[in-house]
Amino acid sequence: MPPLVLTASSVDLTRTICDIPSVSGDEAVLADLIDDAIAALPHLHVYRDGDTIVARTESDRPQRVVIAGHIDTVPINDNVPTRDVDVDGDAYIWGRGTVDMKAGVAVQLKLAAELVEPRIDITWMWYDHEEVDADLNGLTRLARSRPDLFAGDFAILGEPSNGTVEGGCNGNLRAVIRTTGVRAHSARAWVGENAIHKAAPVLARLADYRPREVEVDGLVYREGLNAVRVGGGVAGNVIPDLCEVEVNYRFAPSKSAVDAERHVRDVFAGFELDVIDVAVGARPGLDAPLAQQFVAAVGGEPRPKYGWTDVARFSAMGVPAVNYGPGDPHLAHHDQERVPIAQIEDVERGLRAWLS
């Protein structure tokens, strides 16, 4: 594998690193290449933990920004290697990882090499295992072993945001609602109790639910409460004794985990409900002075981020954080994942303008 050339354009770097498969768990080849390329740069102090690489400028600036991107992707589905495509007259790089989020990582790698004397000290983080269980996430590991590396006045995650600033993120709660009954032969149903029939009000409440829009620090977050799974049944001639409805609640970053659980329990009052997991969101982080300078430098109107991202991790550690990267988040994980070349260049220009 030839070494990464960080003086290449960020567009070429995007093609190169997308063509090196790095599905979660298999990031080592790409991490080694990044490590080798970054370790050769004398202005950066490098720390490695597994396949997570941290590179810091230490120029004694009064402020520090953390700029992070994950290097793993969801599984490839016949969409590697990348290719250049044209959609409605716009040039795209098509393939797994182009949106989520190797184009963002390519911009970061290029600027990490180029910005020898940035205006603000920078902690670059390229990390593994973002697309899988949070316990495996490289930042979870790093936060345990080296929490000091997260210190900063502001953080930028290169998650796809169509090249505009997306502030914070919604929280995410999953719960299972269970109804129970009594099994019986379906020829003598009156001997049993049908657990699936008892779930009727659960689905009715979901169907009737009107999600709120919640303004937080000037951005409006759309919430959502949805069934993501339903299951029940024993055999074609048996009255079922169990039905489960798994729901997913996406809640505004102004709500705590306790608030979110209380809301879901209110909606399904009278039913047995177990919360499986909950991750609070992140407030937009746009009131921080560095954030305001950043938004002014890159331009555009900040918007809310709906999906949960690692900005919440920084927010929870007291570091205001936003998402800013090339690519349409609707195309993340999509088999037709593709990033507009112009957005890669825009994001590169935006970050450079602010950091130089």
From candidates 308, 314, 324, 354, binder to a copy of itself by CB under 8 A? 308
* Catalytic-labelled residue, pool 72, 223, 244, 337: 72
Per-residue mark of binding to a copy of itself, 13-42 (x: CB under 8 A):
------------------------------
Residue 67 has which token pair? 């700029």
One-letter identity of residue 165: V
Nearer to a copy of itself, 21 or 307 (CB): 307
> Smallest gap, in angstroms, from Cβ of residue 198 to a copy of itself?
7
State the Cα–Cα distance between residues 231 and 243, nearest whole angstrom.
6
Question: Which residue is it, tokens 């040039």?
Answer: 91
Is residue 270 involved in binding a copy of itself (CB under 8 A)? Answer: no
Do β-strands 154-157 and 64-70 pair in parallel, antiparallel, or remain unpaired? parallel
> Smallest gap, in angstroms, from Cβ of residue 84 to a copy of itself?
26
From candidates 8, 46, 80, 196, binder to a copy of itself by CB under 8 A? 196
C-beta separation of 282 from 155 below 8 A: no
One-letter identity of residue 134: A
State the Cα–Cα distance between residues 188 and 194, nearest whole angstrom.
12
From candidates 19, 217, 246, 259, binder to a copy of itself by CB under 8 A? 246
Cα 115 from chain centroid (whole Å): 26
Q: What's the start-to-end Cα distance of the chain, in Å? A: 32
C-beta separation of 169 from 329 below 8 A: no
> Smallest gap, in angstroms, from Cβ of residue 138 to a copy of itself?
20
Positions that interact with a copy of itself (CB under 8 A): 170, 172, 174, 185-191, 194, 196-201, 203-204, 206-207, 211, 222, 224, 226-240, 243, 245-246, 248, 250, 306-308, 330, 333
Tell me the catalytic residues.
72, 130
